[in-house]
């Protein structure tokens, strides 16, 4: 194994030969964020010519409504100034650009906003700088370097990229961890020896032998940090992603050129994700004195409550032909239960001394 490997598959095989099979989390981290060969570090994966398309890339309406939701939350929380307008994993910067355009006319909002982006990829940092030209931006690798001021945060399709571990329920109270090893010289899934895992004792009652569960320590740690920041300094966070309340079964997947592929065939060349366990995120803020979690609701319901159909009709008036067709399709894609409307969910973490963000009140 050399310090600067040329090929990610060779590097992974060398690691496995040297230290044994990798946890799914180690495999995911290497594939997505290896400093020179990782998926996110070497490319802009978004859009029609890339591997996948996200809500802000589908239509400007998504970012506009998120922007108005954040601005109303800011007003409801007493219009603190300054505050950290923060995004986790901002991709091409499209969502933040739409948020800023939609909130330009909210008196005092831009003057109070300090823009902070948490982004691991230098390639995507460059794209973000271009999309947000004219705005002062601070980039971070983690939340801990954010200034100690109120936080208004958004994370769209960020948590699904964080490394998960998978455990198969075995006999009794034991679990076997799913790993990536080598079979006949090729990367292959396998499972470790059965062992009791204290961190999973809470999942024993709800699982049976043969069932698989996933845990994402990084997601829980980040949610807990957001909770502590909100508890200490105020604010709110909107978390949007695919997933559900608790996680059951294998949701580890790879997508390349808009098609599903095996997570093991093209390491570093395909997007790797897992469904987000929203219950784990909500539970992670329980220790934060004044940070509350809303109920999780489907993206389609959230966007309808924020008035997406009205906004779609407004924008449609200036459109005709193919542009109008595309616009109608984008509205459907974001909201319809057969498209992203139901698969994607939203949960907010917020300063419980104030009301929850609009669209998330129960
Ligand atoms: N939010 C964007 C992009 C989603 S893709 C959108 O909706 O279009 C995931 C983003 O998270 C990318 O910008 C990726 O580089 C970033 N990312 C993934 N893992 C990260 C990590 N551990 N730390 C910081 N950024 C990360």
The answer to whether the CB of 46 is under 6 A from ligand 1 is yes
Given this model, what pLDDT does residue 49 score? 86
| Nearest CA-CA partner of 82 in 114, 53, 108, 52 | 114
For residues 58-76, give the mean pLDDT: 98
Query: Which of the two residues, 202 and 95, has the higher pLDDT score?
Result: 95
Please identify, by atom number, the ligand 1 atom nearest to the C-alpha of residue 89.
11
Compute the Cα dihedral for 344, 255, 250, 196 and give only its sign.
negative
Q: Above 80 in pLDDT, residue 362?
A: no
Q: Is the pTM of this model over 0.75?
A: yes
310-326 pLDDT, tens digit per residue, is: 999 999 999 999 999 99
Given this model, what pLDDT does residue 4 score? 83
DSSP annotation of 52 = B
Q: Could you tell me what percent of the chain has a pLDDT over 90?
A: 94
Query: 56: CA distance to ligand 1 center in Å?
Result: 13
The answer to whether the CB of 156 is under 6 A from ligand 1 is yes
Query: 284: CA distance to ligand 1 center in Å?
Result: 21
Q: How confident is the model at residue 260 (pLDDT cuts 50, 70, 90)?
A: very high
For residues 235-249, give the mean pLDDT: 94
Query: 248: CA distance to ligand 1 center in Å?
Result: 24
Residues with Cβ within 8 Å of 245's Cβ and at least 6 positions away in sequence, in order, are 277, 278, 279, 296
The answer to whether the CB of 159 is under 6 A from ligand 1 is no
CB atoms within 10 A of CB 276: 31
The answer to whether the CB of 299 is under 6 A from ligand 1 is no
Tell me the average pLDDT of the chain. Answer: 96
The answer to whether the CB of 66 is under 6 A from ligand 1 is no
The answer to whether the CB of 127 is under 6 A from ligand 1 is no
The answer to whether the CB of 58 is under 6 A from ligand 1 is no
Query: 126: CA distance to ligand 1 center in Å?
Result: 13
Q: Is 321 left (phi over 0), alpha (psi -120 to 50) or beta?
A: left
Largest CA distance in the chain: 64
- Is residue 332 within 8 A of residue 339, CB to CB? The reply is yes
Q: Above 60 in pLDDT, residue 1?
A: no
The answer to whether the CB of 45 is under 6 A from ligand 1 is no
Q: Above 90 in pLDDT, residue 361?
A: no
For residues 152-164, give the mean pLDDT: 98
- Is residue 58 within 8 A of residue 334, CB to CB? The reply is yes
The answer to whether the CB of 89 is under 6 A from ligand 1 is yes
Token pair of 200 as six digits: 């999973």
Q: Could you tell me what percent of the chain has a pLDDT over 70?
A: 99
Query: 119: CA distance to ligand 1 center in Å?
Result: 6
d(CA 344, CA 242): 4
């Amino acid at each position: 194994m050399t310090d600067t490997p040329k090929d990610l598959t060779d590097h992974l095989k060398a690691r496995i030969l040297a230290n044994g099979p990798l946890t799914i989390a180690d495999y995911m981290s290497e594939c997505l964020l290896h400093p020179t060969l990782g998926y996110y570090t070497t490319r802009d994966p978004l859009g029609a010519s890339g591997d996948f398309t996200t809500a802000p890339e589908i239509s400007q309406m998504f970012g506009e409504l998120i922007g108005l939701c954040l601005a109303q939350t800011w007003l409801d929380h007493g219009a603190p100034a300054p505050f950290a307008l923060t995004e986790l994993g901002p991709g091409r910067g499209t969502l933040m650009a739409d948020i800023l355009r939609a909130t330009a006319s909210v008196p005092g909002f831009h003057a109070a906003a300090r823009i902070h982006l948490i982004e691991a990829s230098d390639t995507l940092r460059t794209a973000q700088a271009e999309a947000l030209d004219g705005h002062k931006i601070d980039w971070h690798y983690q939340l801990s370097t954010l200034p100690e001021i109120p936080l208004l945060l958004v994370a769209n399709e960020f948590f699904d990229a964080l490394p998960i571990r998978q455990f198969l329920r075995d006999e009794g109270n034991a679990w076997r961890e799913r790993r990536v090893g080598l079979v006949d010289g090729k990367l292959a899934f396998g499972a470790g020896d059965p062992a009791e895992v204290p961190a999973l004792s809470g999942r024993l009652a709800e699982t049976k032998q043969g069932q698989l569960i996933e845990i994402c320590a990084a997601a829980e740690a980040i949610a807990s940090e957001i909770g502590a920041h909100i508890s200490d300094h105020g604010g709110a966070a909107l978390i949007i992603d695919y997933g559900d309340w608790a996680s059951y079964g294998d949701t580890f997947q790879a997508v390349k050129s808009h098609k599903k592929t095996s997570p093991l065939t093209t390491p570093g060349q395909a997007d790797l994700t897992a469904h987000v366990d929203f219950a784990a995120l909500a539970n992670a803020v329980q220790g934060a004195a004044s940070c509350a979690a809303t109920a999780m609701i489907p993206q389609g319901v959230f966007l309808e409550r924020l008035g997406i159909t009205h906004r779609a009709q407004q924008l449609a008036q200036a459109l005709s032909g193919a542009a109008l067709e595309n616009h109608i399709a984008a509205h459907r894609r974001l909201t319809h239960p057969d498209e992203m409307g139901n698969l994607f969910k939203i949960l907010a973490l917020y300063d419980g001394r104030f009301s929850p963000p609009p669209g998330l009140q129960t």
